[in-house]
Amino acid sequence: MANDASYADFAAFVAARERGLLRAAYLVCGDVTEAEDIVQGALVKLAGRWDRMSDEHPDAYVRQIVYRDAVSWWRRRRAERSAIERWIGQRQGVESRSRVAAPDGGAGYAVARVDVARALSALTPKQRAVVVLRFLEDQSERDVAEILGVTVGTVKSQTHAALSKLRSVLSRMDDGGIGARTLEGERS
């Protein structure tokens, strides 16, 4: 970075966006340590270009790096896992869900979070990225397409497929899960 003002601007950008980037990377790749590494790598790349970002949007640039790297990591990891590792991971998820409690004593909220995390893990990497960007980050279809480097039609089809898969997975979860509850919290 060329000067102190540029460094201060970059530091302010990181302070404002790092937590959201970490959350998004984690939701796509499912690994806290890897999410931290992905975000750190993206911020290092951004730092190298920071002085040239005046006309560009640094937020879009760094998000694109984070999502692409998270999806790539998830694909590599998924390909490496053996059937026994998947089975062990599923068993640990079931056991940990039975022990989770929310800080305020309401176990239902924490169980719901675990169920959603399990349901997200059933999606493809691109579907996870689309769901996180569209519904957690509240990005438009056009913005998601730009970040992921795909067409708007691809975003729409991936969103449709992801939501269908999530409905299916969540509806099959046992009574301890969030199942097919409505927004009001009632069973449908």
Largest CA distance in the chain: 59
CB atoms within 10 A of CB 132: 23
Same domain, 188 and 110: yes
Residue 90 covered by a domain: no
Same domain, 1 and 54: yes
Average pLDDT rounded to a whole number, residues 165-178: 67
Amino acid at 97: R
Same domain, 183 and 110: yes
pLDDT digits (tens, 9 = 90+) for 105-147: 444 444 455 667 777 888 888 898 898 888 888 889 999 998 8
Indicate the angle between helix axes 152-172 and 141-148, nearest 10 degrees.
100
This prediction's pTM: 0.54
Nearest 5°: CA angle at 92, between 88 and 128? Answer: 85
Q: How many domains does the chain have?
A: 2
Domain that holds residue 32: 1-80
d(C-alpha 183, C-alpha 100), whole Å:
22
CB atoms within 10 A of CB 35: 23
Confidence of residue 59 (pLDDT cuts 50, 70, 90): confident
Residue 91 covered by a domain: no
